Structure 1
């Protein structure tokens, strides 16, 4: 996949070894797939999912959906700014009158995105044609190209297949944090036949498997590749963290000079360390962790321990 001009990516993204005794004592090798370095503004899997949708939009304005801290909303707003495309973000939850926007939504607004807030009940029904039409009318976004929440649709899943192809022959297991599941759906399809994809959901509820299978069926006609989910590491749900997770993330940053995004990447890495300690991976295996984002607001990486 190529993209000229302001969306030009760095592909394939770098693959870096992380020497870590928590893996090495179990005979495992850890690699970091640095999708966070693909593009300075469309970070990680957001580039892989958004660019195919922008192509499908054919120059039309974009409208998409997300929560108040959505990485996807920020990436869509940045793409709109870079390409000169109008963007609208439909935000889950009511706007608090007189209160400033949080830093994530403020970044969207600074990039020119029009924000439209809807109550949670309406938001849950956004896939219903009548509800969607009403949202688009109210947001002034009729005629816009609709990118689903998280960017996950057949176009995005096919775009993420290249991620799996880039990792063929490098690892027996490739792991990624999952929100809507589109990245895992494409990643699993792109891996070699002997590769396995592991998803770490960051939302609680155990509902992702059916959604991922549906995404693969729409993109490829059938469930594709070898993949599974472990839903033990959501730390209370989306956008939730704990002091334990925060301490883990800071320690990982110190060990590897990697800025660890808390809502997705920290949960992924914590899950992999736990699984390694549990003996979930065969000795001699290489595990690749897909780094799908950077902390926001961004901070410099910590210096590695010596």
Structure 2
């Protein structure tokens, strides 16, 4: 039984002190991961106003896109169940649909989404790249009927509106706000909600600088920067150094980090503090965006590669 969730209510998260460093630098962590057990972190923020809009339009079905271990797929399935909406997931990788029973037995993310009632449509990677085209979406309409479409990763104007609610009035005391970046939606919301004197730092989980263009679609402010050195070779790429950092952080601070986003974020922040990036006296607030459901799947990959496992 999933916990109930009122998307009409104002929900805020607590800031947890992490550590003081030399030169008067301090680090706090906004615990967005604790918002809800199944729809946590930035996924709650992104889906909130999309759920309300779907209900306003009297749509009965949510349709969205994602990979086999997508946090967005899991969160959308859970949010749909809580809200009484049907959910459809267009999943990258048609081979996963050849033996659904076997796929669900090996993939905890899809197993969870399926348990929430999500219907899957597995497509080839070539077809998946065309998901935003009118032709592709018309075919989905023909197959599934009327639905409310939520984009991959959940990022649209309504998602930005939700992510603007991450920061509260009390967060204006911080000089730097730092967050991991996937599609750019969360960072755009943080930028829009930030004070003029604050600097927003984004740590992309993907390799490359293409996200700047995406962020500028949703925000006109210039008080932000992307830190491009902590993607660990690309999306979902990890190594023993990152895993050891995540495990050490968990042991020391009793906070679980995920290896795709928040683990890389905190690794980068600690490294920048050590290298003197932040001015003396800086107060830093990092955003924990959740994503912990993917750890089980990542550990299976790490085990095959003979790398250290993420402790829970």
Question: What TM-score does the superposition give when structure 1 sets the normalisation length?
Answer: 0.88
The answer for the alignment partner of 2:78 in structure 1 is 78
The answer for the alignment partner of 1:12 in structure 2 is 12
The answer for the alignment partner of 1:219 in structure 2 is none
Q: How big is the shift at 1:132?
A: 2.2
Residues 17-52 of structure 1, C-alpha deviations (whole Å, 9 max, x = no match):
1125xxx02431000000011122210111111010
Quick one: which of 97, 101, 122 aligns to 2:127? 122
Quick one: which of 140, 147, 161 aligns to 2:150? 147
Q: How big is the shift at 1:151?
A: 0.7
The answer for the alignment partner of 1:276 in structure 2 is 273
The answer for the alignment partner of 1:228 in structure 2 is 225
CA RMSD of aligned residues (A): 2.2
The answer for the alignment partner of 2:32 in structure 1 is 35
Q: 1:205 to 1:297 in 2, by over 3 A?
A: closer
Q: How big is the shift at 1:283?
A: 0.8
The answer for the alignment partner of 2:186 in structure 1 is 183
In the aligned structure 2, how far is the partner of 1:202 from the partner of 1:57?
30
Partner of 1:211, secondary structure, is helix
The answer for the alignment partner of 1:198 in structure 2 is 201
How many pairs does the alignment contain?
288
Asked if the contact 1:49–1:157 (Cα under 8 Å) also holds between the matched residues in 2, the reply is: yes
In the aligned structure 2, how far is the partner of 1:184 from the partner of 1:231?
14
Quick one: which of 46, 51, 74 aligns to 2:48? 51
Asked if the contact 1:62–1:145 (Cα under 8 Å) also holds between the matched residues in 2, the reply is: yes
The answer for the alignment partner of 2:214 in structure 1 is 211
The answer for the alignment partner of 1:261 in structure 2 is 258
Moved more, 24-33 or 73-82: 24-33
Q: How big is the shift at 1:133?
A: 1.9
Partner of 1:162, secondary structure, is coil
In the aligned structure 2, how far is the partner of 1:243 from the partner of 1:34?
25
Asked if the contact 1:77–1:87 (Cα under 8 Å) also holds between the matched residues in 2, the reply is: yes
In the aligned structure 1, how far is the partner of 2:171 from the partner of 2:30?
12
The answer for the alignment partner of 1:295 in structure 2 is 292
Asked if the contact 1:164–1:186 (Cα under 8 Å) also holds between the matched residues in 2, the reply is: no
Partner of 2:293, secondary structure, is coil
Asked if the contact 2:65–2:90 (Cα under 8 Å) also holds between the matched residues in 1, the reply is: yes
Residues 60-102 of structure 1, C-alpha deviations (whole Å, 9 max, x = no match):
1100111111111101000111121100011112233233231
